[in-house]
Structure 1
Amino acid sequence: MKKLAALVSLLCVYTLSFAQYDENALKVLDAMSAKYKKIPAYSADISYSLVNETDGINEEFRGKITVKGEKYRLELDEQVVINDGTTFWTYLPDVNEVNIDNYDPDEDEISPSKIYEAYKDGYKYVYIGDETVGGTKHAVIDLVPNDKDAQYFKIKLFISQSDNSLTKWTMFDKSGNQYHYTIDNFNSGINPTDAYFQFDQSKYPGVEVIDLR
């Protein structure tokens, strides 16, 4: 186990040493960012999986995400996560419980509303190559944080070369977890109200409220 940990650490150092500010990667990232900046709000189906080969973990979840500026609402079967830019709610349907906390953007390293611009602050980026995903050619780009203490040591983006859309990404943490996200049925023709990004307690009779603020 110690040898495995040492190998992971060595790979992290190797990646950090050789990741650069790749001009080819920057062109692709800027085009992607410009695309999403023009969209005031959107919704999409999202597939999320957690994989840890060492611990034998392979869990998959599906849900829907809605984003408006810095606000987002992520609805999964086992939880609903809501962020209005100030307050953060996590609702657990199985126990009818909601946890409320202040939203701290500094602690939210890669939120659904930030993934399209993460490369602009605190990351090196490198163009890894091309890969066909769903019949469409994608650019594969790795983001590596400058901060060695960051939660994730690498983020791999898959960006469609046909329309500059980000269709999937994988986040790697230092404990061996890989978080895979895939976007489908992207819809930019929506106009959600600000209230949609707040937890309405009246819609959940008997909900237990745990206020951590």
Structure 2
Amino acid sequence: MKNWKISACWLAIMVISLLGTADVQAQGDKKSTAILEAMSNKYQKIKSFKAVFSYIPEGQKPLKGEATVKGTKFRLKMAGQEIFNDGKLMATYIKETNEVNLQDFDPTATGDLDPTKIYTAYKKGFKYAYLKEKKEGNKTLDVVELTSTNKTSQVNKVQIEVNKADNAISSWKIFQKNGQVVTYKVEQFLPDVNVADSFFAFNSKMYPGVEVVDLR
């Protein structure tokens, strides 16, 4: 269960970070590329954001998550964990055990799951294909499928649903190579939030009695 939680967090980081840093080259059909470029252009103009989302591991009940991103800094809360990353140090706080793991943030260690390298991963790590148009309430969505070309990636493919009206991501579904499937849906998105850099650094004083495991 603990491994699943960590895996889920990293997968969420990958796609949420894609909102702010994605870049697209023509590695698929013209329609899918145009949709991804329009989505990318929308989010690249945003300097920071807060997103509230739901995520549903296949066959399980929906859960809630929350992420705040500012450049390469992020803070993510989901699956009983909270991950702090100030761009240099990453702290993973586990609520169940009141424990925090500290480690130097190594952009090369996580490959295409690293939010500071998603620009390269997205640009070189996937090919694209337009799947279909679908209706959801009063929204019309384009569904694009990204298939990983990286043999070492944990991700097999990602299906992204983009709102035709404003080029915003509505939801995405991640298919892992181990067979796990998780669906994420954006419930609330606040662009250009005013957040201090200190928000992304773990402060042990805010967690009385926390056990600090320094892995550096």
> Which of the pair has more CA radius of gyration?
1
Q: Post-superposition, which runs of at least 4 consecutive aligned residues in structure 1 deviate over 4 A? A: 111-118
Structure 2 unaligned spans of 5+: 1-26
User: In the alignment, is residue 40 of structure 1 matched against residue 30 of structure 2?
Assistant: no
**Bigger helix fraction:** 2
Query: How many residues matched?
Result: 189
Matches within 5 A, 1:143-158: 143-158=146-161
Residue identity opposite 1:83 in structure 2: N
Q: What are the ranges of 5 or more consecutive residues in structure 1 without an aligned counterpart?
A: 1-19, 52-56
Q: What letter corresponds to residue 95 of structure 1 in structure 2?
A: T
Give 1:198's aligned residue. 201
Q: Which moved more, 1:195-204 or 1:58-67?
A: 58-67
Are 2:66 and 2:77, in contact at CA under 8 Å, matched by a contact in 1?
A: yes
TM-score under structure 1 normalisation?
Answer: 0.80
Give the SS at the match of 1:163: coil
- 1:175-209 deviations in Å (ceiling 9; x for gaps): 11012111112111411111111101111111101
CA contact (8 A) 1:47 1:63 kept: yes
Report the residue type matching 1:211 in the other structure: D
Q: Secondary structure at the match of 2:64?
A: strand
Alignment of 1:33-112 (within 5 A): 33-51=40-58, 57-76=59-78, 78-106=80-108, 107=110, 109-110=112-113
Read off the aligned partner of 1:201 and give its amino acid letter.
Answer: S
**Alignment equivalent of 2:130, drawn from 127, 135, 141:** 127
1:29 maps to which residue? 36
TM-score, normalized by length of structure 2? 0.79
Matched residue SS, 2:43:
helix
Q: What percent of counterpart residues are identical?
A: 38
Aligned CA RMSD, in angstroms, stands at 2.1
**Cα deviation per residue 1:34-92 (whole Å; 9 max; x = unaligned)?**
111111111121112222xxxxx525320321111121111236111122222221111
